Homo-oligomer: A and B are copies of this chain.
């Protein structure tokens, strides 16, 4: 058994290749094989968001604070708030992040296949993200 007390693992800046804006990641678990689950707490500053991406075995989000946004390719942007859970199916192209004026933190849970738990695609443009002002 491994216990990591709160505050003993550094917060990471999320890779700028895959995120827009200020995003921080706090590790929860990277389970060793034969397990394959990974979990991380992700904090998005207002306006920050992931790039479009997919997950080979899907992803679960649990919003822990704030108000955020999530969108599946071709569908409307939807609001998510603290306590909401989201299931994104394997291969479903999507993005998630903060709302324009409010930060959002969520726990993200996903499973790796051959060491990879996400396939990263293009950035969410300001025009795409701005659509929230009309529709969410």
Listed in ascending order, the chain A residues whose CB lies under 8 Å from chain B are 1-7, 27-29, 31, 34-37, 39, 57-58, 60, 62, 64, 70, 72, 75, 78, 80-90, 92, 94, 107, 109-111
Contacts and interface: CB of A to CB of B under 8 A. Distances in A.
B29 A109 contact: yes
Contacts of A7: 83
Per assembly, the copies of the chain total 2
Contacts of A81: 5-6
A90 B35 contact: yes
Nearest to A31: B58
Contact of A35 (B5, B27, B57, B64): B57
Most chain B Cβ neighbours within 10 Å, of A72, A85, A89, A107: A85
